[in-house]
Structure 1
Amino acid sequence: MTFQPRMTSRREGITLLEDLRWRRWNGAVADVWHAACSAGARGEYLSKDPRLFVVLERNGPCSDLKLSPNATEVVSGRQEFQLSYIPADMPLWSRTDEDMTIRHLDIHFDVSTLAVRLGEELDAERLATPRLRFSDERIMSLARMIAAECMDPDSHHELYGDGLMVALFIDLMQLGRTPPRKRGALAPWQLKRVTDFIEANCLRNIRLQELAELVELSQSYFSHAFKAATGLAPFQWHQQVRLKKVREMLANDGMTLTEIADAAGFADQAHLTRVFRRALGQTPGAWRRARAS
C-alpha cells in the first residue's frame, strides 16, 4: 500500500502563494510550501507519522511554536535554527505576531518502511522525542537538496532523491553502523518444515518470502540461517531438489524433453538444458542416453 501522510491541520491568517510541490520516495513523502502569514496568524497541526519541518526561506520574524495550546513554554527561534522534528501523534501549535512569508519543507516519514530498508529496529524513544528549532548543517544541506528535487522533479534520477532522503533520516535519527549479528542455523524442526515444503513444491517457483514465513523469520535472517544449516542458499537447495525430480522424469522414456521442461516449471526446453548442464555438466539428453547405454 502506498504511504500517505496522515496529517490534519487548522490554519488562520495563512495563505498559499504557490501550488504545493511534492515528491514521494520509498519511505517518505516530501512537500514544499510557500505561504504568507498575516499578523496574528496561527496554525494547529497533528500528524500520525513523524515529520521534519525545515524553514527554507523566511521574510519576517520567526513564529512561535509550542506543543500544547496553553503551554507557557514557547519555542521562539532565530534564523539559524531552521529545523524541527515532530514525533508521530504530537500536536504542534504556531503563532506569528507580524506579517511574514515563508517557504518550508515537510518530510513525512514512513517508519515501518524505513526500518525494513535500514535492516534494523529503530529507537522508539528517539522517534518519540521532539526537537524544536535546532540547527544541523548536514541535515540542512540534505533538506535543501530534497526541496530542490520537489521543486524540479525531472532534474535527477529517482534514486538520487531517494538516497538523499535516507541519508537525512539516518542523520536525523543518529543511526550508526551496527556490528553484524551472529546468526545461528535453523533449528531442526524449522529446517524440516522448510525442506519438506520445497520437496512438495519444487516444480514451481518458490519465493524466499514463502519460506521465511514458514518459520516466522525475516527473509534476510532466514537466508543466513538456512545456509548455516545446509551449506547452501535456499534457491540452490530448491534447484537441487527440482533437478532430482527432472532426473526421475528423464528415467521415464515416455516423456519428451519438452514435456519434462513444462512439468518441471522451466520456461522451455532450452531453459531446462541450460540449468541442467550448468549443474550437472551435461545436457538432459546426454544424461538420458548415458543412463540407457
Structure 2
Amino acid sequence: MSQDPEFVGQTEGITPVAPPQWRRLDGVMGIFWEARGARGANGYYLSNHPRISLFFNDVSSIRISNDPGAARQPGRPMARVLYIPAGMPMWTRFTADHAFSHLDIHLHRDRLLKMLVPALGRSAALEVLARPVETAETRVIDTLAGLLLDEIRAPSRHPLHAETLVAGMVTGLLDLGNAEPDRAGAQLTKRQMRKLVACFRAGGGHGLSVSDMSRAVGLSESWFSHLFKNTTGTTPLQWQLRQRVELAQGLLSGSGLSVADVAGRLGFSDQAHLTKVFRHVTGETPAAWRRTHDAARPALDRPRGPV
C-alpha cells in the first residue's frame, strides 16, 4: 500500500476496496485510501519523512503501537488524526472487522522546515517536527482535509491552493507552542552573542545580512532582530559597524597598513567610506585616531609604514 519509495507499508489482512487516489505537490504527496481490515489484521509503517494520517470514520477497533517490543500487544486506541515524525515506526492491529477511509499526507522534511523556520527558528522547528501528535479534536482539520481531498480527486485550482490547505493542517496539528513568544525583556544568550562575533570575525569584517545572523543562532529574522536590539541596544547593522571599526582600529594600531589598505581588507568600498563610518562611531578620522594612538605608545612599539 505504498506509492513512495521512502515509505514502507507492510500489511496483512487489509484489503483496498478501491484504487488509491493521489496527488503530488511541492514537497507533499497526498494519498486517499479506502480499505477493509479483518479482525486480527495488522500493519507496519515507516517513513523517511514526516506524515499526517487522518481517518474519516471511527477507528475505535484499531490499536496502535510505536514500540517494537509491543508490536503484537494490544497497544493504545488509534486516534483519528496523527502526525508521525520521520523515522518513527508504527504498528497497527484490528480487534474487529472494520471498513475505513483515510488520507495520508507525506511531507518532505525540508518543505516543512521552509514553512516553520521563519516563524520559529531552525532549532525550535526541528524540535516541533520530532514530536508526534495524536488527537481526536478534528473539526478544523476535518474541514481542511475534506477540501484537500477534493483537490486530490479532481484538481480544480492552482496547486498552491492545495499546498496552502496542507500548510493549514500542519500548523493546526503540530505542537507549535505559544502563539506569540514573551517578548518583554527577552535577550540573546551569551553563547549566541559569542557565536555572532565569531561568525562576523570569520568573515574578515565583511558585512553579514540579518538573515545570515539569525540563521547562525537558529532564530527567525523578526524574533532575532527583536532580541538583538534588547541585548545590544542597537540594530544588527549598527552593531556590525562598531565591530568593523574595532577591527579597523586593531589594524591601524598593529600594522603599517595605510588607511586605504585597511578599508580594502575590511570590505569598505574605499578609504572615504571607512573614514565616514569611523568618524561616525568614534568622532574622529582613522588618520587622526592613529596619530593620537601612536603618540601615546612608546616609540619602539610603533609600526613602520605609510599613514
Give the TM-score range, shorter chain.
Answer: 0.5 to 0.7
How far is 1:203 from its partner? 4.4
Distance in 2, Cα, partners of 1:52 & 1:162:
10
Q: Deviations over 1:181-204 (max 9, x none)?
A: 5323654x8757754763563543
In the alignment, what sits opposite 1:79? none
Is residue 14 of structure 1 aligned with residue 28 of structure 2?
no
Change (3 A) 1:8 1:243: same
Q: How far is 1:141 from its partner?
A: 0.8
| Map of 2:91 onto structure 1 | 91
For the 8 Å contact 2:214–2:224, the answer to whether it is kept is: yes
Letter in 2 for 1:183: A
Structure-1 residue corresponding to 2:200: 198
Partner of 1:46: 45
Contact 1:186 1:228 in 2 (8 A): no
Q: Which whole-Å deviations, capped at 9, do the CAs of 1:79-123 have from their partners, x for residues lacking one?
A: xxx93326543422347747x684634355859947745455799
What percent of counterpart residues are identical?
16
Alpha-carbon separation, structure 1, partners of 2:35 and 2:46: 22
1:228 alignment counterpart: 230
Q: Which runs of 5+ in 2 are unaligned?
A: 65-70, 287-307
Mark the runs of 5 or more structure 1 residues left unpaired by the alignment. 76-81, 282-286, 289-293
C-alpha distance in 2 between matches for 1:222 and 1:156: 29
1:215-254 mapped onto 2 (5 Å cutoff): 217-219=217-219, 223-242=225-244
Task: Say yes or no: does 1:71 pair with 2:74.
Answer: yes
Answer yes or no: is the 8 Å Cα contact 1:39–1:97 preserved in 2.
yes
Distance 1:205 1:130, change over 3 A: same
Asked if the contact 1:33/1:105 (under 8 Å) is kept, the reply is yes
| SS of residue in 2 equivalent to 1:91 | strand
> RMSD in angstroms over aligned alpha carbons?
5.7
Task: State how far apart, in whole Å, the 1-side matches of 2:231 and 2:6 are.
Answer: 44
Task: Using the TM superposition, give the Cα deviation of residue 226 of structure 1 relative to its aligned residue in structure 2, in angstroms.
Answer: 4.0
Report the Cα distance in structure 1 between the residues aligned to 2:196 and 2:176, rounded to whole angstroms: 38
Q: Structure 1 length normalisation: TM-score?
A: 0.54
1:10-39 CA distances to partner (integer Å, 9 max, x unpaired)? 1353366145323345xxx44122445486
Partner of 1:184: 187
Provide the rounded CA distance (Å) in 2 between the counterparts of 1:195 and 1:72: 51
Q: Conserved in 2, the CA contact under 8 Å of 1:186 and 1:225?
A: no
Q: What TM-score do the two structures reach when normalised by structure 2?
A: 0.53
For residues 123 and 193 of structure 1, the distance between their equivalents in structure 2, rounded to whole angstroms, comes to 21
Please state how far the C-alpha of 1:206 moved relative to its aligned partner: 3.0
Whether the 8 Å contact between 1:9 and 1:44 is mirrored in structure 2 is: yes
2:144 corresponds to 1:145: no
Q: Is the 8 A contact 2:22 2:152 kept in 1?
A: no
Contact kept, 8 Å, 2:43 with 2:92, in 1: the verdict is: yes
What one-letter code is carried by the residue in structure 1 that aligns with 2:238?
Answer: Q
| Inter-CA distance 261–86: structure 2 relative to 1 (3 Å threshold) | closer
Q: Contact 2:63–2:93 at 8 Å: present in 1 too?
A: yes
Offset at residue 180 of structure 1 (A)? 0.9
Check conservation: 1:30, 1:150, Cα contact below 8 A. no
Whole-Å separation in 1 of the counterparts to 2:176 and 2:231: 35
Contact 1:43 1:95 in 2 (8 A): no
Q: CA deviation at 1:242?
A: 4.5
Aligned-partner residue type, residue 236 of structure 2: P
The equivalent of 1:291 in structure 2 is none
Name the count of aligned residue pairs.
255
SS at match of 2:160: coil
Name which of 169, 175, 183 aligns with 1:165: 169
Q: Contact 1:15–1:36 (CA<8 Å) still a contact in 2? A: yes
Asked whether the 8 Å contact 1:50–1:86 carries over to 2, the reply is: yes
